[in-house]
């Protein structure tokens, strides 16, 4: 079958759904690839680049739509493109079915199958197809760049001969993929970064990136389905506004990223907050396309308020980094087609029993299949809440003391039993054997205390370091080599070899893990 990618006709859209690299992978799945002439030019992919990997270039969109069995796009089909769609065609693009029902109904009449890249369920297996996260990552990075372009000062603090320059203070509202990307970028540029999110579990992620998490003194969990936030209560919003009111006069740059799927963007930064900000401050509203988190945002424009605050409402931030965006998006689509082609024979199969494919499929052979059922595997397990009385700090400490006492008593009992067994064996075993046997028992006990009681989540880094204890095994084995018995010497040699592998492997794991935290 033939996969085609037309040139995007939406104004300002520079991305392309197929790149030379993704085309190579699609051909390995058994497909032929065609591209409209000049479709990749705005993303810095020339027609020659595509031809070099075996992609056929067609002159115009009409010819491409006519020849293609599968259409890959970034934006959903525009009105002028609907007439080009043929029956039984397969379309993969952003659709936004909940906000774009007229398009869904128009595609239904064409009897096509449509996978919406914005409907990929957020489960572990689908991460490689999560185009929303890919694009949000770029948008978060670009938001800081755009803010820096409009901001009249350094991000980082400096001490110069002319005086001291304080660092910029940046507030990130919403710590999803876009928010975390913005935090990382702002932090690397030397700014003081603060972040807020209604989901308490993201606090560790924010703090691990060097930002300050603004904790709200309100007992609630804003975590919704799929790891997204859910609408907040009136009481929570009131507390939230009080927090923002304190922050607004101090903050130089605000990045808002809050979105709830299928709903207008919540208004988190009203006119009152804008009026409290210092002249020269900047607001970047990443939710501008869905109405904006800031009350004064104008989509696709930069405006300046009466108190000289600039509000950026760009809706095309990923498109402003078209080469990078196209590469990531085309990779997401390629993984989707890989899932759709289990036999790698160039024939797509829409398996409605598959959680990922079912979730993304909004139309199947002309039948609307949106909304999808909830996936069998949830993205983030919700914490079970029990209607039990909260324990006081004193009760918690008392429980810990009792647990330690219980553990201590059990160890004393086990040591007593072990000592009795060792004493009994000593009556019959030779003295040389008992000398080594006692060392063996003590080694097991020490090993249990050092490693076994450690949390499972720490086993890998801990074992990488404690494997150095294997050097003791080597010393013991070397001592055993002095015996004249060949079997003992051979076993000692094997022990040295195995312990050496353990030590080398441990330090290799340690080196690899440490390199993950080093900046290149």
What residues act catalytically? 122, 127, 130, 133, 228
Helices 131-150 and 177-188, packing angle to 10 deg:
40
Number of Cβ atoms within 10 Å of the Cβ of 208: 10
Which residues, including other chains, have CB under 8 Å from residue 469's CB and lie 6 or more apart?
A: 447, 450
Query: What is the full DSSP assignment across 383-401?
Result: PP----PPPPHHHHHHHHH
Q: How do strand 361-364 and strand 113-116 relate by DSSP bridges?
A: antiparallel
Closest CA to 491 of 476, 505, 469: 476
Closest CA to 472 of 437, 499, 452: 499
Six-digit token string for 201: 């579990």
Residue 212 DSSP SS3 = strand
- Distance between CA atoms of 227 and 157, rounded to whole angstroms? 35
Closest CA to 349 of 330, 359, 364: 364
Closest CA to 322 of 74, 44, 122, 62: 44
Six-digit token string for 468: 């150095």
- Distance between CA atoms of 132 and 249, rounded to whole angstroms? 33
Closest CA to 31 of 70, 74, 88, 73: 70
114 phi, psi to nearest 5 deg: -130, 125
- Distance between CA atoms of 161 and 281, rounded to whole angstroms? 26
- Distance between CA atoms of 351 and 3, rounded to whole angstroms? 19
Number of Cβ atoms within 10 Å of the Cβ of 298: 14
């Amino acid at each position: 079958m033939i996969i085609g990618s037309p040139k995007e006709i939406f104004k300002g859209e520079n991305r392309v759904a197929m790149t030379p690299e993704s085309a190579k992978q699609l051909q390995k799945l058994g497909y032929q690839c065609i591209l409209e002439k000049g479709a990749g030019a705005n993303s810095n992919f020339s027609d020659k680049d595509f031809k070099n990997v075996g992609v056929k270039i067609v002159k115009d969109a009409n010819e491409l739509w006519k020849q293609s069995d599968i259409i890959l796009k970034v934006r959903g089909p525009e009105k002028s493109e609907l007439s080009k769609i043929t029956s039984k065609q397969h379309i993969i693009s952003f659709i936004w079915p909940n906000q774009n029902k007229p398009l869904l109904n128009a595609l239904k009449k064409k009897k096509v199958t449509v996978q919406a890249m914005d409907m990929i369920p957020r489960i572990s297996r689908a991460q490689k197809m999560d185009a929303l996260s890919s694009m949000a990552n770029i948008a978060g990075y670009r938001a800081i760049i755009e803010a820096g372009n409009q901001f009249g000062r350094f991000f980082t603090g400096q001490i110069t001969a002319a005086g001291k320059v304080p660092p910029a203070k940046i507030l990130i509202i919403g710590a999803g993929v876009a928010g975390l990307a913005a935090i990382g970028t702002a932090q690397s540029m030397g700014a003081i970064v603060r972040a807020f999110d209604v989901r308490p579990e993201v606090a560790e992620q924010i703090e691990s990136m060097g930002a300050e998490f603004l904790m709200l003194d309100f007992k609630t969990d804003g975590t919704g389905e799929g790891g997204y936030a859910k609408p907040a209560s009136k009481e929570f919003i009131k507390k939230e506004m009080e927090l923002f009111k304190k922050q607004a006069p101090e903050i130089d740059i605000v990045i808002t990223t809050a979105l709830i799927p299928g709903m207008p963007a919540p208004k988190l930064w009203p006119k009152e907050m804008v009026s409290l900000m210092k002249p020269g401050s900047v607001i970047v509203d990443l939710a501008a396309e869905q109405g904006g988190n800031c009350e004064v945002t104008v989509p696709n424009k930069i405006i300046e308020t009466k108190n000289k605050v600039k509000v950026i409402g760009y809706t095309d931030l990923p498109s402003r980094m078209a080469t990078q965006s196209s590469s990531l998006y085309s990779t997401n689509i390629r993984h989707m087609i890989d899932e759709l082609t289990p036999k790698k024979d160039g024939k797509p199969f829409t398996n409605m029993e598959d959680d990922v494919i079912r979730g993304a499929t909004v139309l199947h052979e002309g039948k609307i299949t949106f909304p999808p059922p909830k996936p069998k595997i949830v993205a983030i397990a919700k914490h079970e809440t029990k209607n039990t009385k909260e324990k006081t700090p004193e009760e918690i400490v008392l429980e810990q003391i009792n647990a330690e006492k219980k553990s201590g008593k059990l160890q004393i009992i086990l040591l007593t039993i072990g000592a009795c067994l060792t004493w009994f064996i000593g009556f019959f075993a030779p003295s040389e054997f008992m000398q080594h046997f006692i060392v063996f028992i003590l080694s097991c006990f020490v090993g249990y205390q050092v490693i076994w009681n450690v949390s499972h989540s720490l086993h890998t880094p801990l074992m990488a370091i404690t494997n150095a204890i294997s050097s003791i095994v080597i010393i013991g084995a070397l001592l055993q080599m002095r015996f004249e018995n060949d079997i003992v010497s051979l076993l000692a040699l094997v022990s040295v070899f195995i312990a050496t592998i353990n030590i080398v492997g441990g330090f290799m794991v340690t080196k690899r893990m440490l390199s993950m935290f080093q900046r290149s």
